[in-house]
Structure 1
Amino acid sequence: MNIGMSIPPASPAPPQAPTTTAPGAAQRPALSGLEWALLVCVYLSQYMAYGFFFVSLMVILRERGVPLAHMGWLYSLGLFTGLKFLWAPLMDRWGFGRHGHYSIWLALMQALLIAALLWLATLPMDAPAALPLGALAAGSVLVAFLTACQDMAADGLSCRLLGPGQRGLGNAVQMAGGMLGFAAGGGGVLLLYESLGWRWAVLSLTALNLLTLALALAYHEPPHARPGPVQGRQRMRAYWRQLLAFWRQPRTGWPWATFLALLQAGVCMAYGVLTPMLVDAGWSAGKIGRVINIYASVASVAVMLALGWLMRRTSPARALRWMLPAQVLAVALLAAPLLLRAGDVWVMLGVIGYLALYMPLGALAAALMMGQASVHAPATDFSMQYGLYTCAGFAASGLALPLAGHMGYAGLLALAAGVGALMCLLIPWLWRRSQALSLEQAKS
């Protein structure tokens, strides 16, 4: 297998940060230690589910002989996160009075998620028993849905707690916590699965989720962390109209939607084949877990925190200058060992480099999206944007599996690198176009 790729020249002049902010984005109090801990643990819990689905289950099913064509449903589980904006207005609209708003939703979803994981742990998944694929799919759908609801509450709380000056660092810290959760849900589960079996591996996820639940129950949500007041008695349909009204604004029209949909297209295609490729290369479940979810996670957290510092010093938009070519480099690092037919050490280094450059992109994207969220419906606005971003990413990853069956892993990685290089030119243009439309409306 061979592919060729070179790193493209520097991208065009970087897009500039938005010149306006959402209403209500005034200076907010600094986050307390409990608030920082809660946000980190929420994303820790959320990404544990992602690591479980997209690494652990992928490896377990592939080792049990499930063909690539029958594993695409795992990536479809991510659509719950992508489509959560459809029911986000319910969470923005209905709270729990003096007891709180997003924090109570968060605790409720966390408790239901723990119950769903306890049920999933009872499935007979250990060999030589036949795989209960129907029950596994049903349980996975339930866990994915509850994780999306938990994530939605966390998004709303984050948008209200983090002021403009805190968003870059705040999102980097949250995503770093998410990487640790991904390591626990992927690598941790795989290591326990190899030694103790399915039941204890899934029960370990349940135990880790209890910490997030305890913090959510201990947190007293201040007034500024709740949705802003609305004028008069607003009906639910006004919240649903927010779904369409958001995309009719010049700065959030078709250029912004296309920007979000294409931002991670190339690098997500490579991610779609990462785990099956390592299984087919003869790597054990434990080795995959250690490399992807421990070694690579440590490197990703370091890069993510550095990106947060950079965004605090400049702006999330300006950081795009470095992040776009970094995605092409990430695919190159993953593909190079295939080109050279290198040993396991080089493959491992390529995987670590790929994930360390790819994962921080989520923190950058989230910081840009938060700047577009309104004060009255932050969970809805943020969830719509992140939904488009996520669905497009899962679509690219899901498409990669059948394409790899026809093109081979090397051909697929070459295509992913080419798409990433194209994005280095297209994404900055889309940003400038979005800003130009906003300026045109301001002048009219």
Structure 2
Amino acid sequence: MNLPIKILNFKAQIAFLIISLNMAQYISVGFFSESLAAILRQDGLSLEKIGAVYFIGLFYGFRFLWAPFVEFAVAKMGGVYKNFIVVILTLMIISLGITSFLNVRENLGFILIMAGLLGFLSATSAIASSALIIKISTPQNLAGANSLGASGNFIGHVLGTGVTLIIYANFGWIASTLFLVFLTLIALFMIITFKELPRELEKSQNHVNFKNMAMFFKDKKFWLSVLMLQGVGVCMSFGLINPILVDSGRGLDEVGKIVHIYGLCGVLLGSVIASYLINKFGSIKTIILVTLIQAAGILTLLLPILGYTNFIVLVLVCQICFAVYTVGAVSVSTMIMRKATKHPVSECALQSSISMLFQYISFALGFVIASFVGYKATVVFSSIICIGVFFYILKFKKFI
């Protein structure tokens, strides 16, 4: 039974296209942040230094700066996003190929530079892909599109972070990075074979214009605050999953299996639940509800911290954390796209950038706080933040 596809209301080709594009966007950033964090932790690097690795993802937090240039380039291509995405994915494949020849310990500095380049390319691909999703979706199935996108992101997480980590542990750096090349080639094939109809764009999109972005939040100040705050609590704890399991004595291959493979079930469940909740209650009510769910969900991380490291317990904890994060990500992403009405490329990039910027800061902040007060206090503090955000959004929801 094709239940997820039926619920999300998309043809199979478009569904797989959305999943593959979002998968390709995440695999490189996921591997060079989370997997590399686990590798460096096993080598004895401090939590403060490992936290800096997450700043690779800050390109997602600043992508609004070059979104108008993407909008301009697509306009010159007749409103066709496909050709632009093909170029970016090709550059990602070349960059990964170069990185495969490096040594993770001897060339760490250069690897981080290449990871930064891949972060930039990934964020640029996300700018165009988000606009393409808006273009091929209707208001009725936009939540379904974002659920598919979230599933793609976390499939990329599983493959690019979990499976690749296992490959690294058993076969080394070259094999793991070439596997990333293969995954990106899948997305390249899907977009090449997709037939996208050209669209007439507004004249304002034929030149680089930052004024539209500057005015976007003029009457959306409370929505801006939601973008900043919604993911802070859950991300502070979510980023600690890998080092918590490493410090509990699990090997890299076990971490890859537990966190980034079996956790996929939680992601798929979270995507379907998000689509259902948004269609039933709307994006805002879902975002409010999710903050409470996240406050409870991340507390399950206390189990491995307190010594409950049974395999089944660890799998369930990871699935719960992935599920509650996914529901929040899908609800926010859907709201972002619904508000991007005039200039979808720039407006999506601006909103997503702010949301991702604060998420990646929260990832790094979680490492810093944990290095001072420990994992347990950090997780409890994160849950309290989620509860605080719940009351804040509940109070000001009519202004969002």
Deviation at residue 393 of structure 1 after TM alignment? 0.8
Counterpart of 1:426 in structure 2 is 392
The alignment status of 1:394 with 2:357, answered yes or no, reads no
Counterpart of 1:245 in structure 2 is 215
**Conserved in 2, the CA contact under 8 Å of 1:266 and 1:419?**
yes
CA distance in 1, matches of 2:184, 2:391: 41
Counterpart of 1:17 in structure 2 is none
Counterpart of 1:85 in structure 2 is 64
Deviation at residue 234 of structure 1 after TM alignment? 5.9
CA distance in 2, matches of 1:41, 1:47: 10
CA distance in 2, matches of 1:96, 1:259: 31
CA distance in 2, matches of 1:321, 1:245: 26
CA distance in 2, matches of 1:335, 1:387: 31
Counterpart of 1:351 in structure 2 is 318
Counterpart of 1:311 in structure 2 is 278
Counterpart of 2:4 in structure 1 is none
Deviation at residue 227 of structure 1 after TM alignment? 6.2
Name which of structure 1's ranges 383-392 and 310-319 shifts more when overlaid on structure 2: 310-319
**Conserved in 1, the CA contact under 8 Å of 2:89 and 2:188?**
yes
The Cα offsets for residues 213-270 of structure 1, whole Å up to 9 and x where unpaired, read as: 11222223213xx463226x9642xx2101111111x2x2x21111110001111110
**Conserved in 1, the CA contact under 8 Å of 2:61 and 2:357?**
yes
CA distance in 2, matches of 1:96, 1:427: 37
CA distance in 1, matches of 2:200, 2:42: 47
CA distance in 2, matches of 1:46, 1:422: 31
1:171-320 to 2 correspondences below 5 Å: 171-223=146-198, 226=199, 228-230=201-203, 235-236=207-208, 239-248=209-218, 250=219, 252=220, 254-320=221-287
Deviation at residue 113 of structure 1 after TM alignment? 0.2
**Conserved in 2, the CA contact under 8 Å of 1:46 and 1:178?**
yes
**Conserved in 2, the CA contact under 8 Å of 1:267 and 1:327?**
yes
Counterpart of 2:6 in structure 1 is none
The Cα offsets for residues 358-412 of structure 1, whole Å up to 9 and x where unpaired, read as: 222111110011111024x201101111111110111111111121111011111
Q: Which amino acid in structure 1 is aligned with residue 125 of structure 2?
A: Q
The alignment status of 1:52 with 2:31, answered yes or no, reads yes
Residue of structure 1 aligned with 2:350, choices 373, 377, 384: 384
Q: 1:31 to 1:141 in 2, by over 3 A?
A: same
Q: 1:402 to 1:104 in 2, by over 3 A?
A: same
**Conserved in 1, the CA contact under 8 Å of 2:95 and 2:118?**
yes
CA distance in 1, matches of 2:157, 2:58: 18
Name which of structure 1's ranges 88-97 and 182-191 shifts more when overlaid on structure 2: 88-97
Residue of structure 1 aligned with 2:370, choices 392, 404, 413: 404
Q: Which amino acid in structure 1 is aligned with residue 329 of structure 2?
A: G
Q: Secondary structure at the match of 1:305?
A: helix
Counterpart of 1:27 in structure 2 is none
**Conserved in 1, the CA contact under 8 Å of 2:78 and 2:200?**
no
Q: Which amino acid in structure 2 is aligned with residue 88 of structure 1?
A: A
Q: 1:227 to 1:389 in 2, by over 3 A?
A: farther
Deviation at residue 321 of structure 1 after TM alignment? 4.4
What RMSD over aligned residues (CA atoms) do the two structures have, in Å? 1.9
Q: Which amino acid in structure 1 is aligned with residue 398 of structure 2?
A: R
CA distance in 2, matches of 1:415, 1:247: 30
Q: 1:343 to 1:215 in 2, by over 3 A?
A: closer
TM-score, scaled to structure 2: 0.92
Name which of structure 1's ranges 316-325 and 378-387 shifts more when overlaid on structure 2: 316-325
CA distance in 2, matches of 1:74, 1:396: 13
The alignment status of 1:330 with 2:297, answered yes or no, reads yes
The alignment status of 1:364 with 2:321, answered yes or no, reads no
Q: Which amino acid in structure 1 is aligned with residue 347 of structure 2?
A: D
Structure with the larger helix share: 2
1:64-213 to 2 correspondences below 5 Å: 64-95=43-74, 101-125=80-104, 130-213=105-188
- How many pairs were matched up? 391
CA distance in 1, matches of 2:318, 2:12: 34
Q: 1:73 to 1:337 in 2, by over 3 A?
A: closer
Structure 1 unaligned residues grouped into runs of 5+:
1-29, 435-444
The Cα offsets for residues 326-347 of structure 1, whole Å up to 9 and x where unpaired, read as: 10011111124434x3233334
**Conserved in 1, the CA contact under 8 Å of 2:63 and 2:349?**
yes
Q: 1:68 to 1:104 in 2, by over 3 A?
A: same
**Conserved in 2, the CA contact under 8 Å of 1:31 and 1:161?**
no
Q: Which amino acid in structure 1 is aligned with residue 214 of structure 2?
A: L
Q: Which amino acid in structure 2 is aligned with residue 379 of structure 1?
A: V
CA distance in 1, matches of 2:11, 2:385: 42
Q: Which amino acid in structure 2 is aligned with residue 267 of structure 1?
A: V
Task: Please say which structure displays the higher CA radius of gyration.
Answer: 1
CA distance in 2, matches of 1:364, 1:288: 28
Q: Which amino acid in structure 2 is aligned with residue 215 of structure 1?
A: M
**Conserved in 2, the CA contact under 8 Å of 1:270 and 1:397?**
yes
Name which of structure 1's ranges 89-98 and 196-205 shifts more when overlaid on structure 2: 89-98
Deviation at residue 98 of structure 1 after TM alignment? 6.3
Name which of structure 1's ranges 46-55 and 267-276 shifts more when overlaid on structure 2: 46-55
CA distance in 2, matches of 1:39, 1:342: 38
